[in-house]
Amino acid sequence: MPEEKYVAVVTQPDAVMQTGEAAFFDVDNTLMKGASLFHVARKMHQRGAFTLRQAAGFAWKQFKFVARGENMDDVHAVRDSALTLAAGITVEDVKALGEEVYDEMIASRIWPGAKALAQQHLRVGRRVWLVTGTPIEVAAVISTRLGLTGALGTVGEIADGMYTGRLVGDILHGAAKAVAVRELADAEGLDLKRCWAYSDSYNDIPLLTVVGHPVAINPDARLRRHARDNNWPVYDFRSGRRAATLGLKAATAGGAVYGLWRGYSRMRGPRA
């Protein structure tokens, strides 16, 4: 079972609980546009934690992430810089920073279609978890603000109420996500074959294949090909269009269609 600090339970579904069922959402480029970790770095720059040159480097990595998808060299570079800079910062300060990052930089970047999918799962009684490499403090804020069940995220080591600049374990990414979800399923009594997972990245194939209902959202090129070859549903909210819908359960279809319509309307805007 994962340690409690990996799991931030915040709500219970309004509907009758669907025993054994849940949905797992990646965050970066899946639930929101861009990478949440880069926004954390940007906020730290605003507080004077590092130089304009370093901030420009983070901004360039964020641009590449949005344009081309996840590059782990860039993610690790930002992670390592953030860890170094976080050393000596109190836990309470980081929690406050997470709230600020959500309000100022993340809330406006949530994809309406992805949010609608998560809400539809909640409406029919499924638990909805975020599974992300972003710091658990930020992941917990996103989960709480969206009314989701909880979050699994990357955990920084804490000593005497302050971050040491080291991780507990490693960044929650790739195969580590599948391991964390299996552990959570054991603890929560979930049947993974009756669960959903959503991601944009080929690196999350381990997460997507551990569940019975994998779905690609805003996929990178390799994940799009993999999804097509395996007849997985694909939703692309970047252009407001539905790329494919095969295999999505009827209970989720209504929310998906609504989300697609919302995403399409927002991208097009009002007609003249």
Phi and psi at residue 44, in whole multiples of 5°? Answer: -65, -35
What angle, rounded to 10 degrees, do the helices at 250-268 and 112-123 form? 150
Which of 157, 156, 200, 199 has its CA nearest to residue 181?
199
Helix axes 72-86, 52-68, angle to 10 degrees: 150
Please confirm, yes or no, whether 28 is among the known catalytic residues.
Answer: yes
Q: Which residues contact 156 (CB under 8 A, 6 or more apart)?
A: 83, 86, 94, 135, 163, 164, 165, 166, 167, 168
Catalytic residues: 26, 28
